[in-house]
Structure 1
Amino acid sequence: MSDRPARGVDPRRNTVGAQLARLGFSDVERVAATMRRLGLLPPSDGAAPAGPGEPAGPAGPAAGLAVNVIIGELAASADADLALRCLERLVEAQPAGAQPRLLPALADNPGLRRRLIAVLGASSALGDHLVAHPLDWLILAPDGATAGPSDPAVTRRGLLRAVGADPAAAVPRARGDGVAVLDALRLAYRRALLVLAARDLTGTVSLDDATAELADLAGAALDAALAVARAGAGPADAPVRLAIIGMGKCGGRELNYVSDVDVLFVAEPVADHGPGALRKPGELGKPGEPGGLPGSGAPPDLEATLRAATRLAEGVVRVCGTPTAAGELFPVDVNLRPEGRHGALVRTLDSHRAYYRRWARTWEFQALLKARPVAGDLELGARFGEMIAPLVWTAASRPDFVTDVRAMRRRVERSLSRFEADRNLKLGPGGLRDVEFAVQLLQLVHGRADAKLQVAATLDALDGLRRGGYVGRRDAAGFADAYRFLRVAEHRLQLQRLRRLHTLPRDPGELRWLARCMGLPGAAELAEEHRRVTRTVRSLHEKLFYQPLLEAVARLSAEEMRLTPQEAADRLAALGFAQPARCLRHIEALTNGVSRTAVIQRRLLPAMLPAFADAPEPDAGLLAYRQVSEALGRTPWYLRLLRDSAGAADRLARVLATSRYVADLMTRAPESVRLLRTEEELRPTSREAMVRTLLAVSRRNPEAADAVGRARAVRRVELVRIACADLLGLLDVGAVGQALSDAAAATVEAALLVARRRVAGGDDEALPVRLAVIAMGRLGGRELSYGSDADVLFVHEALPGTPQPLAARLAADVIGELHRLLALPGPDPPLTLDAGLRPEGRGGPLSRTVEGYAAYYDRWSLGWEAQALLRAEPLAGDAELGARFCALADRIRYPSALPAGTITEILRLRGRMERERVPRGVDRAMHVKFGPGGLTDVEWTVQVLQLRHARRVPALRTTATRACLRAAATAGLLAPAQLSALDAAWTLASRVRNGVMLTSGQRGDLLPGVAPGLERVARALGYPADEVDQLPGDYRRAAARAHAVALEVLGREQ
């Protein structure tokens, strides 16, 4: 609280009510009445206050005008009304004849007055305790008792004596384990808490010391609880050495007022247990001596030891956590033990060693960073610490370290409700966990080689990082201040009702109370300071992890901080970069020098490196960024875009480090970075707009190769747009397929114009033949994937007066030129036209007239050809000719009656394709195209329904798979569950197929089963880093359900 002089009430100025209001009291009428009852105010506004030795209401004698210092202290408290109400209750609770009298003592003793009223205004729970134990205020009276830091040994002795145990005994044992003993322990604990809170609230103890004393108090309570548990042990229980290891904030000596206390239990047998065999904590025997190291005498019964130790551990948990009339101490959390909830409650040293060496995950070593013996056999606890230290400080070299660290952070983020994220002091963005997590990670990375970092407390570790040059001095100070602010706010919230709280209140009155508790004027100032602090902490990763990497490679002066190249490489490796030395060279190349470009890169990279590090391929992403930056380095808009456009730099880093496909396209078309300026610019271009643009480009360039090259370059930029939007979650798989199909259609349209112009000798309108390109397959359904070929048919028609053989030859020339132009080497992905679905396959003519197609289909058509026509849709060229072809196709693909055996023929063909096209030795269930429940299974099921029912159900006459599925369900051909199964499997298979191409840059239909391929694809699909292993199971289940539906539907339709 503030040290300013307390102001009292001057009855000569205005009315008492007005003065009370100015002093900060709220319900002034009630407050004035209460004060009169206590004798703090005269009976009425006009009367003089009581003089020295005169009676003053029910409180008895008051100290004249000096009594106003009590009112002033009340007004200075966090909640003046609350403090007065609690004070009245406490006065009324005083035993008759008790000496000294409370109010006179408050008037005479400034230290007591400050301490007691500070507690009453800040903690209704401690106020309730004082009312229930009305003479406990006396422990706040002596200045010496509350002046300096408490001695942990004194605290331990006090709590052991409270349960009737001898603190000097080698094995303290309580006088019993009944409710009276438990109550006595709780009261002793609460009184110690009261003294600490009074010192804390009056500013006579620092946050660092307060958290350490709270941890020491918890350790003493655990020792007392162990003494109570021993009192309840049976005579048959084997003697046992039991150490209680504090974890988390208890182990780090940075405990909250209200918190679970995380512990581990370590037990060893007492080999020789005669008189004097057990020694005081810290008093060691030698092997072979009574009470010496385990194994020094006859082999103990290990099972009996563990049974006895487990009963003691269970007793400790019960004693601390069981509520009684006096409340509870704290819950003891044992879930950090090996194997968590499913593991043994107690283990020996050897058992712990075996587990941590073979089975432990990274998060367990991070938790062990704070492990400290706090109660029980401290020598055994020290041996546990010596055993785990080498394992903790080499954890960063484990192969799964980076993956585990990312997973831990994401679990924390997902556990927080969005509703309270901005108010949560512990887990919210910029909260305590951000500081603690980052500091611990840096400790694990650099603590291997620097013993000064091998400390448990967050602030001690941050100071060690500063002194070691791993963190800048000003940054360390800023983060320490932010951490202290958040911890103080958390403490004040918890003190109010002694409840475990971490969330700022919404109520303005409660915010005002909290602000005053923290020495701030009001709620607005508290909110502003909280915003400032969280902004500071949110920059934590950039400041603590990435800025020093730049200083390590840049020739700059930077405080006293400079990582060595090896330290910088260690940090990059821990953050997920596979070749840190090479990545440091990229950073050096980007940031060295005094040019404007280097200066801006030094500002950009600390914010971009986290996005690279969090992506599946940070090394490849950083390399691609260097290549793009070097290509655009002298372009004025590039770095300005990344610096000034919100989110552009982050989006660029994410896509480059996730997708080799995008990285390859961007390095070939660096100007496409412009698309990342805003999310709006990543919306796909419409087909009509693409066609207009590409036709204009083609007409402006008379040279055929140049014209098509420029059109393909426009398509290349559009592919970047689509892929970036896909990776950033802005498009679903249906929108991706439509956008890719539209880009292909526009490119074919433009290339067809150029091909006609070249065959015609310059004027495409002079060519005496009309030509249309018909989309087939996934292109016809507007469902292209990134790696799909464009399945097409060609149809031509001679203009009047043109011989048919000439028209056929000219059409073939145009088609040949179209293929050649689209296949020219270039920096963009090829667009391969595949006409293999034409009549007579690859042996038939490339193009026919509508009449030629009709003659073929009427005489020779097979079932699979009718099935293939279900996707036929005009793509490019003569629109009227394309429409006439599709009208012919309607007659074939939507027959009034399906010829006998058609579906059997189709299913036989599907089986052959699956056998021939799924490579040997692969898991067929993971083949997303031809595997059971894959794309072919779903699409052919849909197409059988179209062949059978589209004549009578017009809604089935669509080339789009998912639209047809919905139409089939509406028509009653599919049950809702069947629709859901088929749609889910098709969607996931399509996304996997796209993900394989995006991440590897190569087409593929097989879902990778292991890392790194699996991780890359799963992350591209939006799976968090700690859930990538779920993708194969998700796909197997979806595909299995779809396959069962396909078999059922095809069996019915056959």
Structure 2
Amino acid sequence: MSLTRQLISGGFADLEKSARFLDAPELKTVDRERLLADLAEAADPDLALQSLVRLLALRPHLRSVLDQPARATFPLFRLLGASEALAEFLMRRPEHLDVLTARLAPEPETVPAGRLRDALMAAVDADPEAETPVAGRTGPDAWVALRVAYRRLLTDLAIRDVCALDPLDFLPAVGAELADLAAAALDAALAVSRAEATATHPAEDVAAVRLCIIAMGKCGARELNYVSDVDVIHVIDTVPRPDGSTLTDEAAVTIGTALAAGVARVISASAPEPALWEVDANLRPEGREGPLVRTLASHVTYYQRWAQNWEFQALLKARPAAGDLELGERYRAALGPLVWSSSGREGFVESVQAMRHRVSENIPARDRERQIKLGAGGLRDVEFSVQLLQLVHGKVDESVRVATTTAAIDALASAGYIGRADAREMGHHYRFLRLLEHRIQLVRLRRTHLMPESDHARRALAKALLAPEETVRPAPEALMTEWARIKRDVRALHERIFYRPLLNTAAHLSADDVRLSPEAAQARLAALGYGDPRGAMRHIEALTAGVSRRAALQRQLLPVLLGWLADGVDPDAGLLGFRRVSEALGTSPWYLGLLRDSSSAAERLCHVLSSSRLITDLLEVEPEAVAWFGNDDELRPVPFAAQWAEIRSKMSRHASADAQIRLVRLTRRREILRTAICDAAGLLDQAAVGRALADADRAAVLGALHIAEREVFGDPQDRPEPPTAMLVVGMGRQGGREIGYGSDMDVLYVHDPRPDADPTEARKAAEAIVARLGVLLQQRCTPPVLAERPLTLDAALRPEGRQGPMVRTLSSYREYYHRWADTWEAQALLRARPLAGDDDLAARFVELIDPVRYPAKLDPAAVREVRRIKARVEAERLPRGADPSRHVKLGRGGLSDVEWLVQLLQLQHAGAVPELRTTSTLDALHAAVEADLLPAEAAAVLEESWLLASRVRCGTIIWSGRPSDVLPADRRALEAVARWCGYPAGSAARLEEDYLRLTRRARGIFERRFYGT
């Protein structure tokens, strides 16, 4: 067989380079066939060959090792093919090459923690038996000695790891020994630090300070990676000096800080031998801003009074690792009760959810699909699931109070909180993901959690995962397929582990699966965010009890749905809403099938049910709308023309006015619901929401107008020509198509009598139509919905206001606007838009009002009048006691400020700038920028403020079902509005800050541009 074919068969990738290394002088006397067979055992044969040649160049005597039986040389090639960094360590420190020959037949067991500590203490000449060991060596020499000894022990462990008969089974032992090795390094570093501290502090003072280094995270849990920051917290205490005196607290903290800082310096400061890892103390109280060391009493006070919820979750892993271990045990005993009661703290659920979301959000987009640790279905998902279950059930069950993830999984299964099959699967998947992480880090001893990108690296990784006796050469594709499967399983396990036991309990199922006690089930629901766990269990029982197909499907679906509901703002309301919708749909076969087959539809449904009272109420009476959730096209708002065509067709099939207006109102309600769901799905921006809602209202008005005209004028086929033509004109936000959910409609009513008609009869007919129109639209649908608001028509903007006639002729409007109109009336007409009625009359009305609302020149007195009225509105119309900074309509920088500024610009310049002649606030704002009437930067702030205020207004009614013009102060309501505004979970405070900051800037621009101040 040719050399090229041999290399390919042996798994080499760089054939040319490897062929050159095989011809190196160092391998001249080596049996090539035997060598190629040995190299084939390596995960990366190319790397193993290169490292071997470089080692032989430094220590030629190693050549004799290659003549030993294959079983004896196997560890050598496994290590060299797995870790370039450890091979380089041996090249850098060839005096430690004996570790290779010492482990030619590696022992499977791990090295006890005591032996590791003794070895590292010996390296720095410290007495491990001394009560307060002080090293005989200080400075860089001691640092180097410690780091070299550490890496020798690390190499020894790596050899046993890569040669393990079952790498997955051996993995927990590897993590434990790595953590013990790190703890031993911290102990030795502390000994060196104590010796160095005596250069600046009296030796008796240094000896009087006791320091315990509390390991956190993976080191604390004894499941450390090959390369990882070691998270620590420092706690100090003092003992009397030899003369019986005691240190002051200030002096103890000063010395303790020097000792802790010295440990970090010994481990990771620059020296001839590279640093080991970063000693990270940022999990300490107050983080980076807090003191590096504290007394035990200070720690307890902090956690009792000021600690955040996530800090108790972090303490799950706390373990006294180095220094005064008796002090460390007192620390653990003092804080343990706080940890195990933390799930009952206010805001616990929100803090856990926020931490989960932060982890996902902080992954760079380019790395998201390669993340083994933080990505979906990764290590963090397993750890989060296990820790949350521990915090929930460990409150009363001490058996689950263990730090190591794999041990915690077993403990939760033994205690009955996880099904044994699920526990086996989760344990296997966690070890597999950790093994991936270990093998990737081992290559260069770099802190990484990313799947490699090259086929060569993935092929080597796949081989590194195999047990020694496995001879099948793995393909990179197979590795990626297996990893993808495990990620999917991990995501599914979260749902099964958290929610299926709740279903088994509620439905009284037997079995192999877990069935929680009522108390445990309620504790779990409470920790997941359900405020009324007992009520939630009743809903679950109602949905899943029985042997019907529907109950079986609900049992299949609810583990997923409960999780999505728990991610919402109000899981209890969401679960109740789901029950109500499910009961309304009864046994409809398409409903549960949709939820089963379309995860996006089910997730959308859960999102709106737990975040919107308005949508939930509407869905209960329009349950068929659930079908829209799975089809984006069905969710898109129906255009006005299509709505009107549908209304006209339906009305033609019913003779009675009551039946016709019911169809009109139902169509409007349906389209409001469709718009709200589409909005919730993120398929509409705020401007599109306003247009869609305005179209639904316009279609309803047009339908009601036709009914009213028929009642007053008679059937069009039988009646003579009507005595007058009618027109309904939209004003305000309706005219600008900028309305929100539940908005009233500002209108003007216009009529134009026929030339031969009796003016009095025409007026009476018009008044009758207007009166009937209001009554028709005010009626509620049947069945009524609490959150539904009938369409109220408000004609307060008519000439002479509430004192003027409700409806006027076109000629009356002409005379009024020509002779008596005030500036505010011209301003109001800026958003006048014909909605329903006679098309010719609409065109003539627009022709009539255009010169009024778009004057050729605005008198300075009129400008002063606009400013005066605005100031009066601010002073008089803001509700008593309302905070002006939080009122989205009339408050500082809110809707009113932006709209009045834009309208003043229109009054001043629309006569000369046709682009300003629009009823849309945003279109007019953009036109003002194009006409150089407003700087683009200022306009951008105004637009952003207007849109956010509009969004907040909509979000408030969506959440509560009741309209409000105030940014909520209640935290749950504020969180719901923040979610509606597009913020991630846990962003209530962020929305509040953004709104107040943005509206402050908008108000400043408004005052400069509107008042000239």
TM range (shorter): over 0.9
Q: 1:1047 to 1:268 in 2, by over 3 A?
A: same
Shift of 1:987: 1.1
Query: Is structure 2 residue 496 aligned with structure 1 residue 543?
Result: yes
Equivalent of 1:226, from 181, 190, 198?
A: 190
Matched residue of 2:727: which SS? strand
Deviations 1:169-227 (A, max 9, x none): 22222222122211111111000000100000011570000000000000000000001
Equivalent of 2:405, from 458, 473, 476?
A: 458
Q: Tell me the residue number matched to 1:438.
A: 385
Please, what is the CA RMSD of the aligned residues? 1.8
Q: Tell me the residue number matched to 2:469.
A: none
Q: Tell me the residue number matched to 1:292.
A: none
AA partner of residue 231 (structure 1) = A
- C-alpha distance in structure 2 between counterparts of 1:676 and 1:34, whole Å: 62
Matched residue of 1:146: which SS? coil
Q: Tell me the residue number matched to 1:810.
A: 765
- C-alpha distance in structure 1 between counterparts of 2:179 and 2:81, whole Å: 25
Shift of 1:255: 0.2
Q: 1:24 to 1:541 in 2, by over 3 A?
A: closer
Cα pair 1:716 1:829 within 8 Å, conserved: no
Shift of 1:524: 0.9
- C-alpha distance in structure 2 between counterparts of 1:693 and 1:424, whole Å: 51
Which runs of 5 or more structure 1 residues have no equivalent in the other structure? 1-13, 41-56, 96-100, 275-296
- C-alpha distance in structure 1 between counterparts of 2:936 and 2:441, whole Å: 52
Cα pair 2:108 2:164 within 8 Å, conserved: no
Query: Is structure 2 residue 656 aligned with structure 1 residue 703?
Result: yes
AA partner of residue 769 (structure 1) = T
Shift of 1:825: 2.8
Q: Tell me the residue number matched to 2:214.
A: 245
Q: Tell me the residue number matched to 1:76.
A: 41
Deviations 1:484-516 (A, max 9, x none): 111111111111011111101111111111111
- C-alpha distance in structure 1 between counterparts of 2:856 and 2:256, whole Å: 82
Q: Tell me the residue number matched to 2:855.
A: 895
Percent of matched pairs sharing the same residue? 48
Equivalent of 2:202, from 209, 217, 236?
A: 236
Cα pair 1:69 1:107 within 8 Å, conserved: no
Matched residue of 2:288: which SS? helix
Q: 1:299 to 1:35 in 2, by over 3 A?
A: closer
- C-alpha distance in structure 2 between counterparts of 1:74 and 1:637, whole Å: 60
Q: Tell me the residue number matched to 1:406.
A: 353
Cα pair 1:718 1:743 within 8 Å, conserved: yes
Residues 454-463 or 702-711, more deviating: 702-711
AA partner of residue 783 (structure 1) = E
Query: Is structure 2 residue 576 aligned with structure 1 residue 623?
Result: yes
Matched residue of 2:965: which SS? coil
Q: Tell me the residue number matched to 2:590.
A: 637
Q: 1:227 to 1:299 in 2, by over 3 A?
A: closer
- C-alpha distance in structure 1 between counterparts of 2:22 and 2:924, whole Å: 81
AA partner of residue 971 (structure 1) = A
Shift of 1:480: 1.1
Cα pair 2:463 2:474 within 8 Å, conserved: yes
Cα pair 2:745 2:792 within 8 Å, conserved: yes
AA partner of residue 316 (structure 2) = L
Query: Is structure 2 residue 883 aligned with structure 1 residue 923?
Result: yes
Q: Tell me the residue number matched to 1:863.
A: 823
Q: Tell me the residue number matched to 2:733.
A: 778
Q: 1:960 to 1:30 in 2, by over 3 A?
A: closer
- C-alpha distance in structure 1 between counterparts of 2:310 and 2:16, whole Å: 57
Query: Is structure 2 residue 496 aligned with structure 1 residue 532?
Result: no
Query: Is structure 2 residue 236 aligned with structure 1 residue 267?
Result: yes
Cα pair 1:163 1:224 within 8 Å, conserved: yes
Shift of 1:109: 5.0
Q: Tell me the residue number matched to 1:51.
A: none
Residues 795-804 or 953-962, more deviating: 795-804
AA partner of residue 768 (structure 1) = P
- C-alpha distance in structure 1 between counterparts of 2:771 and 2:17, whole Å: 97
Cα pair 2:975 2:986 within 8 Å, conserved: no
Q: 1:135 to 1:705 in 2, by over 3 A?
A: same
Q: Tell me the residue number matched to 1:168.
A: 129
Shift of 1:654: 0.3
**After superposition, where does 1:852-1001 map in structure 2 within 5 Å?**
852-1001=812-961
Cα pair 2:284 2:292 within 8 Å, conserved: yes
Shift of 1:298: 5.5
Cα pair 2:948 2:981 within 8 Å, conserved: no
**After superposition, where does 1:245-394 map in structure 2 within 5 Å?**
245-273=214-242, 300-394=247-341
Which runs of 5 or more structure 2 residues have no equivalent in the other structure? 467-472
So what's the TM-score if we normalise by structure 2? 0.95
Q: 1:969 to 1:21 in 2, by over 3 A?
A: closer
AA partner of residue 807 (structure 1) = A
So what's the TM-score if we normalise by structure 1? 0.92
Q: 1:250 to 1:799 in 2, by over 3 A?
A: same
Query: Is structure 2 residue 434 aligned with structure 1 residue 479?
Result: no
Cα pair 2:661 2:776 within 8 Å, conserved: yes
AA partner of residue 964 (structure 1) = A
Q: Tell me the residue number matched to 2:78.
A: 118
- C-alpha distance in structure 2 between counterparts of 1:123 and 1:365, whole Å: 37
AA partner of residue 919 (structure 1) = P
Residues 139-148 or 665-674, more deviating: 139-148
Shift of 1:388: 0.8
Q: Tell me the residue number matched to 1:282.
A: none
AA partner of residue 189 (structure 2) = A
Query: Is structure 2 residue 147 aligned with structure 1 residue 186?
Result: yes
Cα pair 1:109 1:141 within 8 Å, conserved: no
Q: Tell me the residue number matched to 2:470.
A: none
Cα pair 1:469 1:560 within 8 Å, conserved: no
Cα pair 1:683 1:721 within 8 Å, conserved: yes
Matched residue of 2:320: which SS? strand
Q: Tell me the residue number matched to 2:962.
A: 1002
Cα pair 1:123 1:495 within 8 Å, conserved: yes
Q: Tell me the residue number matched to 1:7.
A: none
Deviations 1:406-443 (A, max 9, x none): 11111111110121111111111111111111111111
Cα pair 1:583 1:619 within 8 Å, conserved: yes
Shift of 1:522: 1.9
**After superposition, where does 1:593-632 map in structure 2 within 5 Å?**
593-632=546-585
Q: Tell me the residue number matched to 1:25.
A: 12
Cα pair 2:569 2:975 within 8 Å, conserved: yes
Matched residue of 1:926: which SS? coil
- C-alpha distance in structure 1 between counterparts of 2:492 and 2:242, whole Å: 57
Shift of 1:123: 0.8
- C-alpha distance in structure 1 between counterparts of 2:553 and 2:938, whole Å: 55
Residues 1038-1047 or 661-670, more deviating: 1038-1047
Q: Tell me the residue number matched to 2:791.
A: 831
Q: Tell me the residue number matched to 2:752.
A: 797
- C-alpha distance in structure 2 between counterparts of 1:35 and 1:1034, whole Å: 65
- C-alpha distance in structure 2 between counterparts of 1:884 and 1:972, whole Å: 32
Shift of 1:893: 0.9
Q: Tell me the residue number matched to 1:281.
A: none
Shift of 1:30: 5.1
Shift of 1:900: 4.8
Q: Tell me the residue number matched to 2:174.
A: 210
Residues 992-1001 or 1030-1039, more deviating: 1030-1039
Shift of 1:806: 0.8
- C-alpha distance in structure 1 between counterparts of 2:873 and 2:16, whole Å: 90
- C-alpha distance in structure 2 between counterparts of 1:406 and 1:19, whole Å: 54
Matched residue of 1:369: which SS? helix
Shift of 1:157: 0.2
Q: Tell me the residue number matched to 2:455.
A: 508
AA partner of residue 757 (structure 2) = T
Residues 139-148 or 794-803, more deviating: 139-148
Matched residue of 1:475: which SS? helix
Q: 1:561 to 1:38 in 2, by over 3 A?
A: farther
Q: Tell me the residue number matched to 1:3.
A: none
- C-alpha distance in structure 1 between counterparts of 2:997 and 2:92, whole Å: 61
Deviations 1:105-152 (A, max 9, x none): 233254541111101011111111222233433223345763421111
